[in-house]
Structure 1
Amino acid sequence: MLRKKRNGNSSIHYRSIFTRLFFGTMAMVVGMMAIAAFFISSQSEAMLNEKTRQQLLDATNTAMQKASSRVHTIESALQSFGSSYKNSKLSNGQMFGILTDIVTANPTISEIQVAKTDGSYLTFPGSPLSSDYDPRKTDWFAGALEKKSTFVSDVFQFSQTEFPKIAVSLPLLNENEESVGVIVAFLSVPKLSEFIGEIRLGDTGYAMIVDRLGKLVAHPDKTYALKRPAMDQLSIVKDMLSGQAGFEQVTLQGAEYYGAYQFDSSLKWGMIVVQSVAEIKREVHTLQLTILAVSIVGIAALAALLYVFVRKIVTPVKEVQQKMSSFSKGELFQTMQVQTNDEIRQLADSFNSMSSQIRSIIGKIQHVIVDVKQVAHHVGNGSRHSHAMQSEVVAVSERLSQEMDQQQLQIEGIHTTMSGITAEISRITESMEAAVLQNHESRKQSVKASASIDALKENMQKISDDMKSSLHAMSAMKDSMVDIRDILHLISQISKRTKLLSFNARIEASRAGQAGLGFGVVADEIRQLSEQTEEATARIEQVIQSGESRMERVSDCLEITDQATISGIHTLHQATDIFQQTVRISEAITTQFETIRELSASIHVQSQSIQERVDTLSLSAQEVVSGTQQAVASNQESLSLSEQFLHDSERLAGIIEDLEQEIRFFRTEEKATA
Structure 2
Amino acid sequence: MKKTWSSLLDSLRHAGKTVQTKLASRNSGASSTGTGKISGVSEGIRSNPLKSVGVKLFAIFFFCIVFFVLVVGMISYTKSKDVIQNKVADASEQTIIQAGEKLDLIYSSYEDLSMQIMLNEDLRKLVTDIRASERNSYNYLELSRQIGDKLNVYSFANKNIKAVHLLTETGDGISSSSGNLGATNRGDRDWFKKVLEAGGQSVWLETSAKGFVEESAAAVGTQTSFALGRVLKSVTTSQITGILLVEIKLEVIGDQVKQINMGEGGSTVVVSPGGNYIYTSDREQLAKPHNLDIEMNAFDRVSGQLKTRDSQNQLVYYKSKLNNWFLIGSMPVNELVKDARVIFDITLAMAFGAMLIAVVIGYMLARMIGSPLIQLRNLMKEGEQGNLSVRMQAKGQDEIGQLSVSFNQMMEKITQLVQQTNISAQEVLGTAGELSEASKKTAMSAKDIAVATEEIASGASSLAVESERGNELTHAIGMQMKTVVEANVIMGTAAGEVQSSSKQGIAYMDELIGKTNETESMTRSMVEKVDNLKESTRSIVKILDVLGNISKQTNILSLNATIEAARAGAAGKGFMVVADEIRKLADQSRQSIAIVGQITEKIQKEIEETVNVLSKAYPIFQEQISSVKEADEIFKQVDQQMGGFIERLSEVTESISQLETSQVVLNESMTNVSAVAEESSATSQEVASLSTEQLNISNGLVNLSDKLEELSKSLQESLSKFRV
TM-score (normalised: structure 2): 0.44
Higher relative contact order (CA 8 A, sep 6+): 2
Larger Rg: 1
